[in-house]
Amino acid sequence: MAAPLSRVETVAERGFGAEIRVRGLLHAYGEAGRLPVLRGVDLDVEPGGYLAISGVSGAGKSTLLALLGGLESVQSGLVMVGGRNLASLNGRDLAHFRRDVIGFVFQDFGLLGMLTALENVEMALSLAGVSRAERRRRAAELLAEVGLAGRASHRPTALSGGELQRVAIARALANRPQLVLADEPTGNLDEDSALRVLELLERLRAERGCTLVVVTHNQELAERAGRRVRLTRGTLQ
């Protein structure tokens, strides 16, 4: 039987990242699973680890990331994150899991255009039911931490790509996740911005002790990770 979320919370409060354990993961799309994407993936990441997943388009990188983050239901195999068996979680529990355990960083930043940078970070805290004054304070501190204190009141349209991604990182860290999943976080950035964003992610991981999994095409960036795996046709190399 899966451990209750409160157990995971205790781990998080001790400052450890989430351990990842994947066994025999199969995933397919289309009718009757005619389009297999993952064909028996086994993966282990230690708490606080830094993993880079690379591979060509269609190799299954984003699908693996989605499965680790509870964005998709596990079809077959075992996915354990922070002591939770994701296959055993229903939709509501998966939402709580994403809110409390995972921090997502997307290639296209995924910021809400109607909100300012500060409000985008606040949104994550709002979903956790944090009071307005408290989340405003914490969001401002997070933006300062990613070097955007002066851009808090700007809307996404007024920010550069690098700034957008830093706001997205601040938002991903708002609820102190045990696991940060970054899907091509530098894909829309120039080389200089890409490097700075990745350095920021790495620094924050080191400071907070969370586990970091980055999906990237960029072999040079992938080599910065403590551990690298390559997905080829749904299997890990």
Partner 1 sequence: MPDAGSGSPGAPSSESGRHGGRPVRWSDAWLLALRSLRRRGGRTLLAGLGVTLGTTMLVALLSISATADSRIVSQLSKGGPAAAIHVDDAYPDPGNLASDELKTGPHHDLNDAAVAALRSSPNVASVVTVLSTPVLVIPCPGVTPGPRAAAACRQETDGYVTTAVGSDLRRASDLPITLLAGRLPAAASLTEVAVTQSYLERVHLDARRPAAVLGSEVELAAPQALPGAQTRFRGRWSRAEVVGVVAQTVDQGEFLVPIEQSQAARQWSLAGVATRGLPRQTSPYSGLVVVADSLADVHAVRSRIADLGYATSAPEHLVASVQKYLHIVDIVLGGIGAVALAIALLGVANSLLAAVRERWREIGVLKALGASDGDVARWFLFEAGLLGLAGGVVGTVAGTALAGSVALAVNRYLVDQGLQGIDIGLLPAAWVLGVPLASALLAVCGGLAPALRAAGLPVREALGG
Q: Which residues bind partner 1 (CB under 8 A)?
A: 5-6, 9, 12-13, 15, 62-63, 66, 69, 71-72, 91-92, 95-96, 98-100, 104, 106, 110-115, 123-132, 134-135, 137-142, 145, 171, 173-176, 207-208
Q: Give Cα 212 distance to the centre of its chain.
A: 7
Task: Report in angstroms how near the CB of residue 81 gets to partner 1 at its nearest.
Answer: 14
- Among residues 176 and 227, whose Cβ is nearest to partner 1? 176
Q: Kindly state the tokens that stand for 91.
A: 């939709």
Task: Report in angstroms how near the CB of residue 223 gets to partner 1 at its nearest.
Answer: 25
Query: First vs last Cα of the chain: how many Å apart?
Result: 31
- Among residues 174 and 222, whose Cβ is nearest to partner 1? 174
Task: Report in angstroms how near the CB of residue 93 gets to partner 1 at its nearest.
Answer: 9
Nearest to 197, CA basis, from 217, 168, 156: 168
CB 217 within 8 A of CB 192: no
- Among residues 66 and 87, whose Cβ is nearest to partner 1? 66
Nearest to 62, CA basis, from 155, 205, 193, 181: 181
- Among residues 199 and 219, whose Cβ is nearest to partner 1? 199
Give dist(CA 80, CA 70) in Å, integer.
11
Q: Kindly state the tokens that stand for 86.
A: 């994701």
- Among residues 5 and 52, whose Cβ is nearest to partner 1? 5
Task: Report in angstroms how near the CB of residue 64 gets to partner 1 at its nearest.
Answer: 12
- Among residues 25 and 139, whose Cβ is nearest to partner 1? 139
Task: Report in angstroms how near the CB of residue 118 gets to partner 1 at its nearest.
Answer: 12
Task: Report in angstroms how near the CB of residue 140 gets to partner 1 at its nearest.
Answer: 8
Sheet of 50-55: strands edge to edge?
102-105, 179-183, 211-215, 50-55, 227-232, 235-236
Nearest to 72, CA basis, from 42, 32, 28: 28
Task: Report in angstroms how near the CB of residue 128 gets to partner 1 at its nearest.
Answer: 5
- Among residues 75 and 227, whose Cβ is nearest to partner 1? 75
Q: Largest Cα–Cα distance of the chain, in whole Å?
A: 52
CB 172 within 8 A of CB 136: no
Helix (H, G, I), strand (E, B) or coil at 107: coil
